[in-house]
Structure 1
Amino acid sequence: MIEHLHWLLIAAFVVGLGKGGLTGVAALAVPFLAISMNPVAAAAILLPIFIVTDWFSVRIYRRDYSSRNLAILVPAILAGIVLASFLVAIAPEALLLIFTGLVGVWSATRSWLGRGDTNPRPARVAPGIFWGLVTGVTTFITHSGAPPTQAYLLPQRLPRLVFAGTMAITFAIGNLAKLPGYQALGYFDDLDWALVAGLTAMGVLGTAAGRWLVKKINDASYTRVIEALLMLLSLALFWKAWTLITGP
């Protein structure tokens, strides 16, 4: 993987930016790396970086989160991860990428069209369970769980730090829960752990940079940035799905 080192360093920094509060950016790392390397290998090498930077992010946002949303989302995401560990062998990755991308486009477009509606939506249980299950499946197979989670959280118009903290804690738990499944599927068998350690340090730097950026923008600007990143991520997922369908 040394021949891909410059791409890996960029991807690790991008993961950190996302974990620092620019939610959705982190999920761009896998499709970004898929340009130059096998997407399964990309997902495997990035998971340890996700996990370490997740917990730095949790420390940063440990006082800023929605306990109700966590109580709804986390159990559903864990159930989705268990389901995904059985589906991964039979569900086409391209189909999941397209579905996740559609969710992101729908969520961002809905938010843009409803810009005049400033009334926050409540954190409802049934939609939260649905989006949590979808998040669990998509984050396990494609590392792209942000669009379903944001589809549920964005209409609530949470303060930016609460939004970032809720996402941070949710994915810290979810990414840690992926480890047994990834190990059982053999995704870690050929990893260069020394390389992973170096990339993780770059991810931590990105986390600090992401936190700094979030503190510099207000709630309205933060929401617009997240929506734009969500749309960008969704388009990247469509591109990745297209490459899987058409081949190299």
Structure 2
Amino acid sequence: MELTLATVLVAFAGVFLISFMRGAFGGGFAIVGIPLLSTVMDPVTAGGLLAPLFIAMDLYALRYWKPSTWSRPDLRLLLPGLVTGVGFGYLLFRALDHRAIAIMMAAITLVFVGLWLLRGGEVTHRPRSTPKAIAAGLTSGVTTMVAHSGGPPLAMYLLPLGLTKEIYAGTTSLFFTVGNATKLVPWLLLVQPAAGTWMLMAICLFAIPAGVWSGWRLHGALDQRQVYRACYALLAVTALKLLWDGVSGYLA
């Protein structure tokens, strides 16, 4: 990959945007920034670039999303499925039809958002469910490994629980800290970044502190309802992006 000024600027902006999402909502919306990166590099190279940068984002975000913001009962249910799902995603990466997975995940997410809209945009509190948590963790592990899109399955489990905005963001942040650490080596083995990619990673590191801090400030300025509405809106954007990736892949 050639390090042109355009490549550096676009990658820096993409990493800033993803870091901003990490600070504002705890993570899970990395795919929102990937279209920007895809204008200057192919998606697989973008995945290899982001895998180590996610670790840096996670470590910096822990300055804000401290243990007091983690829902430990939910994490105990979610994390085993997450780690297992990342393993499945690695084993199936080359065999899976990424387009079909993207379309399926998009359809499920859009139905979830649609049902929320039919309820008038209000959060219906539901009790914690062990089977749903395990399924969410497993599905999120597979999709985060395959396409850096593990946010929708986790959000579909956590949002109906009616957690406070801080607990929701903190739990999401730690969940993806574990997931990103688990998938780092598999992604590097699959992609094997070139020297230029490593250099671009080093440059993009400087976008992370400002991005996470800016997102965290936005989170503090929003009330509970605004944060949840923003999460549902981002889910819809993510789903539409996944749908476009899947359908355009078949049409290409």
Class of the TM-score when normalised by the shorter of the 2 chains: over 0.9
Give the aligned partner of residue 126 of structure 1: 131
Give the aligned partner of residue 12 of structure 2: 9
How many equivalent pairs are there? 247
Pairwise mapping of residues 49-198 of structure 1 onto structure 2 (< 5 A)? Answer: 49-62=53-66, 63-115=68-120, 118-190=123-195, 192-198=197-203
Deviations 1:99-141 (A, max 9, x none): 2222321222222222476552122110011111110000001
Deviation (angstroms), 1:19:
1.0
1:19 and 2:27 matched: no
Deviation (angstroms), 1:96:
1.6
Give the share of equivalent positions with the same residue, in percent.
27
Amino acid across the alignment from 1:2: L
Amino acid across the alignment from 1:237: L
Stretch deviating more after TM superposition (170-179 or 22-31): 22-31
1:43 and 2:47 matched: yes
Q: Against the structure 1 CA distance between its residues 120 and 112, is the aligned structure 2 distance closer, same or farther, given a 3 Å change threshold?
A: same
Whole-angstrom CA distance in 1 between matches of 2:218 and 2:122: 26
Whole-angstrom CA distance in 1 between matches of 2:206 and 2:176: 19
Give the aligned partner of residue 225 of structure 1: 230
Whole-angstrom CA distance in 1 between matches of 2:132 and 2:193: 34
Give the aligned partner of residue 216 of structure 1: 221
Whole-angstrom CA distance in 1 between matches of 2:107 and 2:62: 29
Deviations 1:43-75 (A, max 9, x none): 110111111101212231112111011111111
Deviation (angstroms), 1:190:
4.9
Amino acid across the alignment from 1:60: Y
Whole-angstrom CA distance in 2 between matches of 1:163 and 1:103: 21
Stretch deviating more after TM superposition (225-234 or 113-122): 113-122
Q: Against the structure 1 CA distance between its residues 161 and 31, is the aligned structure 2 distance closer, same or farther, given a 3 Å change threshold?
A: same
Amino acid across the alignment from 2:160: P
Equivalent residues of 1:24, 1:226 under 8 A apart? no
Stretch deviating more after TM superposition (224-233 or 57-66): 57-66
Deviation (angstroms), 1:191:
5.1
Q: CA RMSD in A?
A: 1.7
Deviations 1:77-109 (A, max 9, x none): 100000111110110111121122223212222
Equivalent residues of 2:55, 2:180 under 8 A apart? yes
Question: Where does the alignment leave 5 or more consecutive residues of structure 1 unmatched?
Answer: none
Q: Against the structure 1 CA distance between its residues 236 and 158, is the aligned structure 2 distance closer, same or farther, given a 3 Å change threshold?
A: same
Deviations 1:176-216 (A, max 9, x none): 10022123324334553232022122022111100000000
Whole-angstrom CA distance in 2 between matches of 1:144 and 1:90: 18
Amino acid across the alignment from 1:57: A
Equivalent residues of 2:123, 2:160 under 8 A apart? no
Question: Where does the alignment leave 5 or more consecutive residues of structure 2 unmatched?
Answer: none
